[in-house]
């Protein structure tokens, strides 16, 4: 283990023998779609149960549970990490914790899990992120204190959450990047179209089947606890559809109005979709892997987290990836595959230009513009998709990264040990 900390560059760590065993995710449901009424807790249970199963281990093997959820959107939200663990079959004696670094929270669960293993506090960590953005509440804060006559105020918590009150709304940060790099509307539409085309191709060739767990109505049970009944819409069985993916064309995209600025570049078609879903992964140390003769997807080499001006928060992956490379002594040319969460097309293009990336190895199965961005789950989805594709393409190194609301970025380096 080797750690790094700089007030200018960020902080990070190189791990000794931490491995990503496997993982799974739910399909991502569109806003007000098939998953719109399913608690984020239940979505997390689906994903975590499947991740444990795909990893070839028992729930009894889990030592720590690291969960992420950003928009609390169910009445039992306070108990989310604990309930996910209990109904995923993990023993009652295993504690659970909730982590939050907004869009980078999925990565944060894996970093925290790897840290626990490194510190000797665990051999195996269950990492998960879950989000139901449809269920984001309409809120009125302060009613307990009373209100003046005619001054009852309710707001859409989801919409308000997209506005960084210290700087500018999230979409405007992408417009700032577009201005800084001279990115045009055509370029953002072309990139949005590429993301959609790649996601459709990945779906059609069956790539996603290995990571998506089919969802059905079910009753989750745990010994001695009340059952949890999960009901999908009537007649929905084996739901595996990423509902935000839909075919389009540049002509159609070009006719859409801009969302954040009158003469801007970002539209609903070249920005990440608002979706519901969960993802999970299991990470473990070398001794556990060897004792069980398991075959991990990848080795978790290192992680890095950085921060920058909130007004250009979408560039967050740039300092994080640079720090990752500096710590490990690798060059960007040695990285065979890269996943950068597509919060906005202009945001990705800005990172691409700043880092000198080859688009042919970036987000090769499409990204959040196509699939959607369930905040807490995205880092786990990116890591799982990347690790699987690294094995398919026989790539040695891959990086997954995300920008983070408020002006942060994190990144993780994975190594293919199956070459």
- Rounded to whole angstroms, the Cα distance separating 205 from 199 reads 10
Q: Residue 84's closest CA among 104, 103, 64, 102?
A: 64
CA gap 223, 123 in Å, rounded: 25
Biggest CA pair distance of the chain:
70
Let me know if 127 is a catalytic residue.
no
> Considering only CA atoms, which of 170, 90, 70, 181 is closest in space to residue 130?
70
By residue count, the chain amounts to 419
Residue 403 is a catalytic residue: yes
Backbone angles phi, psi at 377, to 5 degrees: -95, -20
* Spatial CB neighbours of 191, under 8 Å, sequence gap ≥ 6: 270, 345, 348, 349, 369
Place of tokens 């009340």: 226
From the list 48, 103, 351, 362, the catalytic residue is 103
Note whether 335 and 356 are within 8 A (CB).
no
- Please list, residue by residue across 380-408, b when 16 or more beta carbons sit within 10 angstroms of its beta carbon and e when fewer do: bbbbbbbbbbbeeeebebbbbbbbbbbbb
- Burial call 293-319: b when 16+ CB within 10 Å, e when fewer: ebebbbbbbbbbbbbbebbbbbbbbbb
Q: What's the rounded Cα separation, in Å, for the pair 307 and 201? A: 34
Quick check: 281 and 388 in contact, CB under 8 A?
Answer: no
CA–CA gap between residue 247 and residue 330 (Å, rounded): 38
Alpha-carbon gap, residue 17 to 399, rounded angstroms = 17
Beta-carbon contacts of 80 under 8 Å, excluding residues fewer than 6 positions away, are 40, 41, 44, 67, 69, 72, 74, 98, 130
124 with 57: CB under 8 angstroms? Answer: yes
Choice among 127, 172, 351, 403 that is catalytic = 403
Q: Annotated active-site positions, please?
A: 103, 403
């Amino acid at each position: 283990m080797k750690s790094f900390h700089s007030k200018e560059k960020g902080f990070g760590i190189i791990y000794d023998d931490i491995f990503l065993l496997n993982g799974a995710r739910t399909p991502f449901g569109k806003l007000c779609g098939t998953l719109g009424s399913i608690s984020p807790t239940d979505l997390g249970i689906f994903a975590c149960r499947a991740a444990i199963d795909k990893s070839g281990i028992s729930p009894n093997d889990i030592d720590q549970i690291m969960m992420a959820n950003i928009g609390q959107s169910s009445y039992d939200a306070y108990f989310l990490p604990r309930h996910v663990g209990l109904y995923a079959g993990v023993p009652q004696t295993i504690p659970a914790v909730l982590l939050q670094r907004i869009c980078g929270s999925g990565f944060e669960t894996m970093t925290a899990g790897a840290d626990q293993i490194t510190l000797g506090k665990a051999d195996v960590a269950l990492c998960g992120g879950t989000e139901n953005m449809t269920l984001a509440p309409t809120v009125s804060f302060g009613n307990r204190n009373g209100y003046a006559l005619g001054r009852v105020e309710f707001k859409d918590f989801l919409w308000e959450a997209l506005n960084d009150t210290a700087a500018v709304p999230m979409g405007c940060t992408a417009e700032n990047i577009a201005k800084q790099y001279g990115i045009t509307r055509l370029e953002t539409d072309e990139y949005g179209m590429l993301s959609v085309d790649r996601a459709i191709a990945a779906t059609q060739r069956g790539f996603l089947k290995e990571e998506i767990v089919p969802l059905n109505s079910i009753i989750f049970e745990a010994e001695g606890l009340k059952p949890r009944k999960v009901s999908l819409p009537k007649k929905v069985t084996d739901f595996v559809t990423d509902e935000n993916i839909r075919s389009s064309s540049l002509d159609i995209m070009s006719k859409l109005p801009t969302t954040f600025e009158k003469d801007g570049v970002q539209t609903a078609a070249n920005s990440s979709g608002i979706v519901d879903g969960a993802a999970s992964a299991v990470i473990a140390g070398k001794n556990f892997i060897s004792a069980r003769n398991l075959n991990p997807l990848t080795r978790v080499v290192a992680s890095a987290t950085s921060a920058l001006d909130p007004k250009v928060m979408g560039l967050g992956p740039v300092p994080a990836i640079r720090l990752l490379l500096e710590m490990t002594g690798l060059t960007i040319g040695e990285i065979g595959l890269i996943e950068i969460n597509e919060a906005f097309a202009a945001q990705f293009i800005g990172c691409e230009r700043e880092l000198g990336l080859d688009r042919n190895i970036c987000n090769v199965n499409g990204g959040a513009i196509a699939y959607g961005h369930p905040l807490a789950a995205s880092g786990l989805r990116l890591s799982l998709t990347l690790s699987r594709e690294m094995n398919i393409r026989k790539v040695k190194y891959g990086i997954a990264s995300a920008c983070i609301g408020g002006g942060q970025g994190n990144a993780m380096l994975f190594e293919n040990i199956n070459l």
